[in-house]
Structure 1
Amino acid sequence: MTLDLTGITSKAAIHQLFKEQLGFEDWYGPSWDAFWDSIIAIVEMPPVLTLTNWEEFARCCPRDMQILRQVIQDYEVEMAPKRIVLG
């Protein structure tokens, strides 16, 4: 599965995209803890989730991009062979 992050320039926008495209619960809010809980235990994630055109998000939200990179690393350890990759 591929998610295109073109035009995503805020933490709220990336979390809304995740909620809509990955089928997160209605209670899901814009938090990295909620994202982690959702991808680990609540939704069935695809074998590989590729995030494309992420550079604008990284430029606009460097702290959140750093957190996302850490989540990606932790996810690979916790959920192997499933992966989230930056494409």
Structure 2
Amino acid sequence: MTLDLTGITSKAAIHQLFKEQLGFEEWYGPSWDAFWDSIVAIVEMPPVLTLTNWQEFAEYCPRDMHILRQVIQDYAVEMHPKQIVLG
């Protein structure tokens, strides 16, 4: 599965995209903790989730991009062989 992050320039926007495209629960809010809980225990994630055109998000939200990169690394360890990749 591929998610295009073109035009995503805020933490709220990326979390809304994740909620809509990955089928997160209605209660899901813009939190990296909620994102982690959702991807490891609540929704069935695809074998590979590719995030494309993420550079704009990284430019506008460097702190959140740093957190997302850490989540990607932790997810690779916790959920192997499933993975999230930056494409």
Provide TM-score, normalisation by structure 2.
1.00
Q: Deviations over 1:33-71 (max 9, x none)?
A: 000000000000000000000000000000000000000
- Mapping of 1:14-33 within 5 angstroms? 14-33=14-33
Deviation at 1:23, TM superposition (A): 0.0
Match of 2:39 in 1: 39
In the alignment, structure 2 segments of 5+ residues that lack a partner are none
Provide TM-score, normalisation by structure 1.
1.00
The whole-number CA distance in structure 2 between the counterparts of 1:12 and 1:4 is 16
The whole-number CA distance in structure 2 between the counterparts of 1:6 and 1:49 is 16
- Mapping of 1:62-77 within 5 angstroms? 62-77=62-77
- Mapping of 1:52-67 within 5 angstroms? 52-67=52-67
Task: State the identity %.
Answer: 90
Match of 1:13 in 2: 13
Question: How many residues were matched structurally?
Answer: 87
Q: Deviating runs (4+, > 6 A) in structure 1? A: none
Letter paired with 1:36? W
The whole-number CA distance in structure 1 between the counterparts of 2:29 and 2:3 is 19
Match of 2:80 in 1: 80
In the alignment, structure 1 segments of 5+ residues that lack a partner are none
